[in-house]
Amino acid sequence: MSVLSDAALQAPPTAKARGYWATVGRRIARDKVSMACAFILALIFAAALLAPWLHLADPYQGSMIRRLRHIGTPNYPLGTDELGRDMLARLIYGGRLSLIVGILPVILAFVIGTSLGLVAGYVGGKLNTAIMRTVDVFYAFPSVLLAIAISGALGAGIVNSIVSLTIVFVPQITRVAESVTTGVRNMDFVEAARASGAGPFTIMRVHMLGNVLGPIFVYATGLISVSMILAAGLSFLGLGTKPPEPEWGLMLNTLRTAIYVNPWVAALPGAMIFAVSICFNLLSDGMRSAMDIRN
Amino acid sequence: MFAYIARRIVYVIPIVISVALVCFLLVHITPGDPLVAVLPADASQELAAQLRSAYGFDRPLPVQFGLWLWRAVHGDLGNSIATGRPVLSEVMRAVGNTVMLAIAAAMIGFTLGLLFGLIAGYFRDTWIDKVSTSFAIAGVSLPHYWLGMVMVIIFSVQLNWLPAVGAGPGGSGAWAWDWEHLRYLILPAITTSVIPMGIVTRTVRALTGDILSQDFVEALRAKGLRETEVFRHVVKNAAPTALAVMGLQLGYMLGGSILIETVFSWPGSGLLLNSAIFQRDLPLLQGTILVLALFFVLLNLLVDIAQAAIDPRIKRS
Amino acid sequence: MRNEKPKTTAAAMALAFALGAGMVPADAETVLRIGMTAADIPRTLGQPDQGFEGNRFTGLTMYDGLTMWDLSSSDKASTLIAGLATEWKVEESDKKKWVFKLRPGVTFHDGSPFNADAVVWNVDKVLKQDAPQFDPSQVGVTASRMPTLVSARKIDDLTVELTTKEPDSFLPINLTNLFMASPAKWQKFYDTAEGADAKARSQAAWAAFAKDASGTGPWKMSSFTPRERLELVKNDNYWDKARVPKVDKMVLLPMPEANARTAALLSGQVNWVEAPAPDALPEIKQRGFALYSNEEPHVWPWQFSRVEGSPWNDIRVRKAANLCVDREGLRDGLLAGLMVPATGTFEPGHPWRGNPTFQIKYDKPAAQKLMQEAGFGPNKKLTVKIQTSASGSGQMLPLPMNEYLQQALAECYFDVQLDVIEWNTLFTNWRRGVKDPSANGSNATNVTYAAMDPFFALVRFLQSGMAPPVSNNWGYINNPKFDELVTKARQTFDPAARDAALAELHAASVDDAAFLYVAHDVAPRAMSSKIKGFVQPKSWFVDFSPVTIVP
């Protein structure tokens, strides 16, 4: 965690944003691992997005006679699940919900947490204390416990798991945003802007956002992997998506009864979660080192 | 040092009270009947009302919170609705089992993490580094509940080497430190150790790399300092941060064990939380969350103090 | 992969053998180790929770009721027999009073005598609010199962008088659910308990009693690890010498996951599991384990809405639905044999079955004809909405089974919409009824029920007065004939005549197609082939006493 934020705090030293981002872009493009990950993620996103046009089997249509077919069965390249539904179709359709439930909380938390952190960091004083002490309370819970406690209280459901994960991530992003903002606020170029008569709103919008967003963004991409795992974990416990919707965590849960009959089909949804999660992690690493000008 | 400790402890008190409030509110905003565990759906409304007042659920929320907090301060978290047993003893026994699992996992994860991290940091950008970092990144990206399931498939279902679930042939009450019991600990401990292994590896690698690339290390080496001395220097400088990360990870293992304990039916706090959630056992639910959060707060406090003891610079900030 | 199995199995067996050899002591104490489906050990203080599985494992083992179920046969229906009461009859002059003669010479596990005082004490523990032993946590599960019982009075040491709110011939059947805990043992805990007031001390005493319980049953508690393990040993002094257990010890382990139970059985961790994972049945059989199942007094139905505007108000539609389902196909396909097709709440052979004229079977042409008469056809489908949940106690495989019905009924011009909600919500709505907003516009609900007792099997669904919020007449059935037959059965006190009246009520409900009857559960269990003498009755309960383990 601290490694992540330490590196994330390596803010671009000057406000010459365009040249900086171009350099970063070039550096990422040269990183083979990051590019491979980006490609895999793009593939998974495209498949999930275009699922209805891929001529897949109906992910909801089951059949008692073709339950738990093995991987490689003709017509069912990835086998069938415990209700005889096509695994390939369910994995691809499942990506839609899994990606939404995994990524949306991070986006929401990014928006909310950045706003809170910017305000706290820029305004300082009592407002800072109020925001940051509230954040501390949520930090007193291990994130998995907090997510499960909130979901357990709100009850199962997609919206509820998005809400609970957002609540888990907001404090983390707020903290990063606040510390970056505080750091940037005292830098020369902000002082200069202030001296030239720019109002606080303009300063926050033009100068700070640009220099602050980068590190927070990198931090947030790192959270996507955690969020994917947690979101699927909630469904795996029965606190997330409800059947019969295809979703990777839930599929993993319902297929557990099949591990004696067809173990590797049962393991497939987890492999998808793993793939997405590791790709986001590697991509986030790649971005971070691309933004780290020292190297 | 004592002033620092005192300051940290005073700072913790409002956190603890807020944490208790969050626990209580979380559990009580819940829709649904708190007595579902003892009240069959076929019970009459009259009976339901009678029981609701017998359990005190008909009182206003602030009163319920006050009473709960007052008793909690006196070491009484109430009785579980489903079992009638005192919540505190239920939770403490479960936490004991979780601690056992967490420590076993920490021993595996921290040892491997330190090892991989040091090697990777020393041999940056060589193939050893690449292998270690790959392990680390896989570790932090793995859905560990899935890993647990896969391990059960391989080692229990296919090979039949290790038991799939439970804490020993006689349950945790009859735990003994022999092979017959340790067999039950292996799969859940390895599964739990994967994330801390990854995170510790990454931390230690970064720390080691940073320290070794500093100018004065070059200077020391140029002065003819032996490598063991350089290593000591690395350890000394990396220790506070590494310790903090490991402390935090131990906290996560204690508080976030629900997924793994569910996969392996390990009778710890996570499994308890799971059954409290699904039985809607409110006293047990809020008690378990509270105790786990307090453990986490306490652990953070200890880590802070230990860090300050090792590195006096921290106290000043 | 299938081909490799024997090799792995052999290796596993060898390993299990090697490990097992170290565990069994030389004098070969025989131990039943049972994986239950419950998530926690059912309460041990006399009135178990966890439904009838609780009664099976921590009720009927350690305790007895005044009346009991005959669990000795696998073919006959399980009927009521004498327990701690040897005989009982209603007072001719006042049909609200019953006299129970108690069995002489019975003692609790702690040595104290079982007598009329003990019966009164045990009735008071759930019904008399100012009794010191009154325990609200036991009231819910007990009082709801004996809705008319009001109080008990001692006549002499071995005679008790029980009073009901209204004349109720079902009382002796209800009393199978009231277990006799030892007042002497409890009093001992109460006297030494700490607590601010009498209520707190009573709670503490019950908590202590739960850890060191005492009843009159064939098994005694020997050790208890909450949530993990309960050990019972045989009671050599059991009053029914024929039912002194043949096995020394029984260990009960909660294993809510079907996979976990199955794995525990296959690896030798336990030698008996309840409800093994259906998909693992071939593997279990192949490895030489024994499988048992039998029809259970359990019904998996759709319960119809009968309020104004419900499509189910037309009896032709109700009958068509019942005729359109191939229950045998469901049994042999999805459920791998683990269900009995339902043709009513009770099947032929049951004393409460009666002779319905409407034969429930698979007859698609007849069903289609009925639907056409009712004005529907391939181009004019009848839309019905069913509420169900993805899981839940006794629900078997709710989603796949409902999807099966959806497909089957589509052939008879039904357009079935499934509203899948959380089990708790479904269960709560079952009580609130179809008019409650939580029913979400559905016109049938899918909550399974136990049919042990006439009140729970029939009355609460069929009597108009049982409509919400009183009880589970979810769809507001209002049929004067049912009401009349309920009253008749309740007020017929000769057991044979009462059974006949119940049979008449049941036949009337089938003839009216009051439910879509789909399946009865069969309580599958798998056990080591070394376990002999086990008889699985047509009941939720089993008798562990005759079971033996061969070396």
- Listing DSSP states for A176-220 in one string gives HHHHHHHHHHTSHHHHHHHHTT--HHHIIIIIIHHHHHHHHHHHH
pLDDT given for residue B314 in this prediction: 60
CA C165 to chain centre: 25
What gap in Å lies between CA C19 and CA A202, rounded to an integer?
74
The residues facing C85 across adjacent strands are C102
The residues facing C32 across adjacent strands are C250
Q: Check whether B103 has a pLDDT greater than 90.
A: yes
Closest C-alpha among A230, A229, A225, A231 to residue A281: A225
| Average pLDDT of span B17-31 | 84
Q: What is the pLDDT of residues A85-115, one digit of tens each?
A: 889 999 999 999 999 999 999 999 999 999 9
The two three-digit tokens of residue C356, written as one number? 């319905």
| Average pLDDT of span C105-134 | 95
pLDDT given for residue C159 in this prediction: 96
Our CA angle for C328, C329, C332, nearest 5°, is 85
Are B299 and B247 contacting, i.e. CB atoms less than 8 angstroms apart?
Answer: yes
What gap in Å lies between CA C225 and CA B97, rounded to an integer?
13
Count Cβ–Cβ pairs < 8 Å, chain A vs chain B: 141
Q: What is the pLDDT of residues C13-62, one digit of tens each?
A: 444 443 443 444 445 789 999 999 887 899 999 999 888 889 999 999 99
| Average pLDDT of span C170-199 | 92
pLDDT given for residue C367 in this prediction: 96
| Average pLDDT of span C194-199 | 82
* Binary contact (C422, A259; C-beta < 8 A): no
CA distance B286 to chain A (A): 9
Residue C182: CB atoms within 10 Å: 26
Share of chain C above pLDDT 90, in %: 67
Given A62, A68, A260, which is nearest C400 (Cβ)? A62
Contacts of C137 in chain B (CB under 8 A): 38, 81, 84
Task: Label residue B170 by pLDDT band (50, 70, 90).
Answer: low
Our CA angle for A8, A12, A16, nearest 5°, is 155
The residues facing C153 across adjacent strands are C161
Say which residue, C397 or C247, is predicted with more confidence: C247
pLDDT given for residue B43 in this prediction: 66
Q: Is A72 on the interface with C (CB under 8 A)?
A: no
Structural element, H or E, at residue C222: strand C219-225
Residues 127 through 156 of chain A touching chain C, CB cutoff 8 Å? 155-156
CA distance C470 to chain B (A): 6
Give the N- to C-terminal CA distance of chain C in Å, as an integer: 33
Q: Is C12 on the interface with A (CB under 8 A)?
A: no
The two three-digit tokens of residue C273, written as one number? 């599991």
What gap in Å lies between CA B17 and CA B24, rounded to an integer?
11
Q: Is C262 on the interface with A (CB under 8 A)?
A: yes
| Average pLDDT of span C417-428 | 80
- Is the sign of the CA dihedral B81, C143, C474, C435 positive or negative? negative
CA distance A206 to chain B (A): 31
Give the N- to C-terminal CA distance of chain A in Å, as an integer: 21
CA distance C491 to chain B (A): 22
What single-letter DSSP state applies at residue C66? S
Q: Is A52 on the interface with B (CB under 8 A)?
A: no
Closest C-alpha among B219, B200, B3, B241 to residue B114: B200
* Binary contact (C283, A83; C-beta < 8 A): no
User: DSSP characters for C458-517?
Assistant: IIHHH-GGGTTTTSS-TT----HHHHHHHHHHHT--SHHHHHHHHHHHHHHHHHTT-EEE
pLDDT given for residue B257 in this prediction: 86
pLDDT given for residue C8 in this prediction: 40
The two three-digit tokens of residue C475, written as one number? 């769809």
Q: What is the pLDDT of residues C132-165, one digit of tens each?
A: 999 988 888 888 888 899 999 999 999 999 999 9
Q: Is A273 on the interface with B (CB under 8 A)?
A: yes
Q: Check whether C250 has a pLDDT greater than 50.
A: yes
What gap in Å lies between CA C64 and CA C181, rounded to an integer?
9
What single-letter DSSP state applies at residue C457? I
Q: Check whether C212 has a pLDDT greater than 70.
A: yes
CA distance A97 to chain B (A): 17
User: DSSP characters for chain B?
Assistant: -HHHHHHHHHHHHHHHHHHHHHHHHHHHS--S-TTTTTS-TTS-HHHHHHHHHHHTTTS-HHHHHHHHHHHHHTT---B-TTT-SBHHHHHHHHHHHHHHHHHHHHHHHHHHHHHHHHHHHHTTTSHHHHHHHHHHHHHHHS-HHHHHHHHIIIIIIIS--S-SSSSSTT-GGG--SSHHHHHHHHHHHHHHHHHHHHHHHHHHHHHHHHHHTSHHHHHHHHTT--HHHHHHHHHHHHHHHHHHHHHHHHHHHHHSTHHHHHHHT--SHHHHHHHHHHHT-HHHHHHHHHHHHHHHHHHHHHHHHHHHHH-THHHH-
Contacts of A158 in chain C (CB under 8 A): none
Residue that the structure tokens 């009075």 belong to: C153
Structural element, H or E, at residue A272: helix A263-291
Given C228, C257, C269, which is nearest B163 (Cβ)? C269
Contacts of A65 in chain C (CB under 8 A): 333
Q: Is B220 on the interface with C (CB under 8 A)?
A: no
Say which residue, A153 or A49, is predicted with more confidence: A49
Are A118 and A110 contacting, i.e. CB atoms less than 8 angstroms apart?
Answer: no
Alpha helices for C355-459 (secondary structure H): 364-373, 398-410, 423-432, 454
**Which residues have C-beta within 8 Å of that of residue A156, sequence separation ≥ 6?**
A238, A239, A240, A241, A242, C422
pLDDT given for residue C132 in this prediction: 94
CA distance C160 to chain A (A): 47
Contacts of B274 in chain A (CB under 8 A): 237
Model confidence, pTM: 0.80
Q: What is the pLDDT of residues C302-337, one digit of tens each?
A: 999 999 999 999 999 999 999 999 999 999 877 888
Contacts of C228 in chain B (CB under 8 A): 167, 171-173, 267
CA distance C147 to chain B (A): 9
Q: Is C281 on the interface with A (CB under 8 A)?
A: no
Top-ranked range on mean pLDDT: pick from A234-248, C298-312, C426-440 = C298-312
Neighbours of chain B (3+ CB pairs under 8 A): A, C
Residues 79 through 108 of chain A touching chain C, CB cutoff 8 Å? 82-83
Share of chain C above pLDDT 70, in %: 95
Neighbours of chain A (3+ CB pairs under 8 A): B, C
- Is the sign of the CA dihedral A275, A279, A280, A281 positive or negative? positive
* Binary contact (A236, B145; C-beta < 8 A): yes
Question: What 3-state DSSP class applies to C89?
Answer: strand
Q: Is B11 on the interface with C (CB under 8 A)?
A: no
Q: Check whether C267 has a pLDDT greater than 90.
A: no
Our CA angle for A224, A229, A231, nearest 5°, is 90
Q: Is C259 on the interface with A (CB under 8 A)?
A: yes
Average pLDDT, chain A: 83
Cα dihedral B193, B198, B200, B203, rounded to 10, equals: -170
Find which of B17, B211, B258 to mutate to test the A interface (most A CBs within 10 Å of its CB).
B258
Question: What 3-state DSSP class applies to A117?
Answer: helix
Contacts of C258 in chain A (CB under 8 A): 257
Cα Rg for chain B, rounded, in angstroms?
24
pLDDT given for residue B313 in this prediction: 66
List the single residue in A with minimal CA-CA distance to B285.
A149
* Binary contact (A273, B14; C-beta < 8 A): no
Q: Check whether B186 has a pLDDT greater than 70.
A: yes
Find which of C194, C424, C427 to mutate to test the B interface (most B CBs within 10 Å of its CB).
C424
Longest dimension (CA), chain B: 87
Q: Check whether C246 has a pLDDT greater than 90.
A: yes
Contacts of A237 in chain C (CB under 8 A): none
Q: Is A124 on the interface with B (CB under 8 A)?
A: no
| Average pLDDT of span C89-93 | 92
**Which residues have C-beta within 8 Å of that of residue A112, sequence separation ≥ 6?**
A166, A170, A173, A174
Count Cβ–Cβ pairs < 8 Å, chain B vs chain C: 142
| Average pLDDT of span C118-127 | 95
Closest C-alpha among C189, C188, C187, C249 to residue C218: C249
Q: Check whether A75 has a pLDDT greater than 90.
A: no
Closest C-alpha among B170, B279, B173, B270 to residue C42: B279
Contacts of B169 in chain C (CB under 8 A): 23, 269
* Binary contact (C279, A155; C-beta < 8 A): no
Residues 233 through 272 of chain A touching chain B, CB cutoff 8 Å? 233, 236-239, 252, 256, 259-260, 263-264, 266-267, 269-271
pLDDT given for residue A70 in this prediction: 85
Task: Label residue B30 by pLDDT band (50, 70, 90).
Answer: low
Q: Are strands C219-225 and C159-164 parallel, antiparallel or unpaired?
A: unpaired
Top-ranked range on mean pLDDT: pick from A138-147, B75-84, C383-392, C506-515 = C506-515
Give the N- to C-terminal CA distance of chain B in Å, as an integer: 13
Phi, psi of C99 (to 5 degrees): -115, 125
Count Cβ–Cβ pairs < 8 Å, chain A vs chain C: 44
